[in-house]
């Protein structure tokens, strides 16, 4: 894998390999006092964020550090971007300074692809950490890791993705990845929050949340992306919540084994009731935890050269020597 720009077109073998590596890394690090592997020693990862982030930025930083990479964080507000520098010049500067991988978040859909084109000759890998309303591939991978763990597999499982599909890069990446991995997806949203052309996606569409819940294995609630909305997409937050919020009463419609997911940040009380977010069926903190292992796996697949031992082998060898990197 040279870049990770999206889950569209990511083949089943590559996606499964990343998920398997993430599982292996999770098992390897479980219960260890010092969570540090030598795998990416000497590699430099730069996170370049033009939009706010808590989970994604922090977990990429932790992922890189747990694999001994040098991690540098650049936020647009405190860099030369604030002086008017273009994305291209910023990217070329980071590559010239020695970045082996740039993890980028940008409000424009397609920004990660552009960056990858500009860095084609530099050998720098690009990871899309969210581009506008387009894709957020590592979120979808960590969601798949969480569902595999909770449900034992994805083949034939039915997943409802609920809410602001129109503005959600999480929804797009999940539709591609979940269907590639053999799951069925139903999108549940008001007509105003569904994209044009959704009929051509490999999903079913519903406007009735109550009718869908009894038949799903997982429900993924989406945040209402107010920052991307220009105009009225629904009458009021209260009405949205009444029709599309996962209330305690609605939670009772779910099968007992069903998993509740949310990519965060959550708007408690609007798209999900607090009691539902904190219930045992919710895997929201597990998603965050798995996000670190999935991002470690992605960095491993992008940056570990042919001469580097398998991620788990490296960890095993290290254990055998009784040491930490
Ligand atoms: N954190 C996710 C994203 O960056 C979901 C969200 O913000 O609603 O797309």
Tell which atom from ligand 1 comes closest to the C-alpha of 223: 8
Instruction: Give the closest residue (by CA) to ligand 1 atom 1.
Output: 264
**Is residue 163 in contact with ligand 1, taking CB distance under 6 Å?**
no
> What is the model's pLDDT at position 310?
60
Of 111, 130, 267, the one to substitute when testing ligand 1's pocket (max ligand atoms within 8 A of C-beta) is 130
Coil, strand, or helix at residue 309?
coil
Other beta carbons within 10 Å of 264: 17
pLDDT tens figures, 181-203: 999 999 999 999 999 999 999 99
Taking the C-alpha atoms of residue 245 and residue 63, their distance in angstroms, rounded to an integer, is 33
Coil, strand, or helix at residue 317?
helix
> What is the model's pLDDT at position 67?
97
Tokens coding 259: 């998993």
Would 12-135+291-320 and 137-286 be classified into the same CATH topology? yes
Q: Which of 63, 116, 44 is nearest to 303 (CA)?
A: 44
**Is residue 6 in contact with ligand 1, taking CB distance under 6 Å?**
no
Other beta carbons within 10 Å of 1: 14
Other beta carbons within 10 Å of 62: 16
Show me where the domains of the chain are located.
Answer: 12-135+291-320, 137-286
What is the distance in A from the centroid of ligand 1 to the CA of 316? 35
Which H/E stretch holds residue 58? helix 55-66
What is the distance in A from the centroid of ligand 1 to the CA of 52? 9
Asked if residue 198 lies in contact with residue 166, where contact means CB atoms within 8 angstroms, the answer is: no
Taking the C-alpha atoms of residue 225 and residue 193, their distance in angstroms, rounded to an integer, is 10
What is the distance in A from the centroid of ligand 1 to the CA of 108? 14
Average pLDDT for 78-106: 91
pLDDT tens figures, 273-296: 999 999 999 999 999 999 999 999
Average pLDDT for 126-144: 98
Whether cis (ω within 30° of 0) applies to the bond prior to 265 is yes
What is the distance in A from the centroid of ligand 1 to the CA of 32? 30
Residue 228, pLDDT above cutoff 60: yes
Q: pTM higher than 0.95 for the full model?
A: no
Provide the CATH number for the domain formed by 12-135+291-320 in this structure.
3.40.50.1370
Q: Any idea which fold 137-286 has? A: Rossmann fold (3.40.50)
**Is residue 220 in contact with ligand 1, taking CB distance under 6 Å?**
no
How big is the CA angle at 181 (ends 304 and 159), to the nearest 5 degrees?
Answer: 125
């Amino acid at each position: 894998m040279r870049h990770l720009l999206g889950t569209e077109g990511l083949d089943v073998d590559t996606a499964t390999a990343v998920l398997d590596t993430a599982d292996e890394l999770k098992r390897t690090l479980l219960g260890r006092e010092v969570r540090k592997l030598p795998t990416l020693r000497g590699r430099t990862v730069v996170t370049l964020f033009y939009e706010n982030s808590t989970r994604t930025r922090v977990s990429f930083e932790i992922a890189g550090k747990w694999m001994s990479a040098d991690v540098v964080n650049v936020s647009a507000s405190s860099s030369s971007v604030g002086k008017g520098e273009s994305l291209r010049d910023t990217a070329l500067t980071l590559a010239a300074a020695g970045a082996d991988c740039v993890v980028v978040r940008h409000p424009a859909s397609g920004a990660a692809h552009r960056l990858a084109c500009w860095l084609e000759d530099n050998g720098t890998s690009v990871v899309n950490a969210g581009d506008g309303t387009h894709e957020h591939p590592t979120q979808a991978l960590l969601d798949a890791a969480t569902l595999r763990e909770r449900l034992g597999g994805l083949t034939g499982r039915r997943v409802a993705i609920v809410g602001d599909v129109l503005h959600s890069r999480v929804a797009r990446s999940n539709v591609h990845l979940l269907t590639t991995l053999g799951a069925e997806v139903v999108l549940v949203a008001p007509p105003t929050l569904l994209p044009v052309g959704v009929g051509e996606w490999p999903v079913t569409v519903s406007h009735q949340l109550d009718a869908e819940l009894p038949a799903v294995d997982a429900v993924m609630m989406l945040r209402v992306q107010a920052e991307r909305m220009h105009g009225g997409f629904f009458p009021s937050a209260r009405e949205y919540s009444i029709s599309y919020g996962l209330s305690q009463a609605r939670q009772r419609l779910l099968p007992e084994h069903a998993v509740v997911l949310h990519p965060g940040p959550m708007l408690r009380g609007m798209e999900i009731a607090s009691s539902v977010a904190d219930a045992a069926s919710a895997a929201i903190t597990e998603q965050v935890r798995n996000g670190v292992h999935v991002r470690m796996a992605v960095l491993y697949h992008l940056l570990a050269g042919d001469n580097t031992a398998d991620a788990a082998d490296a960890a095993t060898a290290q254990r055998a020597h009784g040491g930490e990197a």
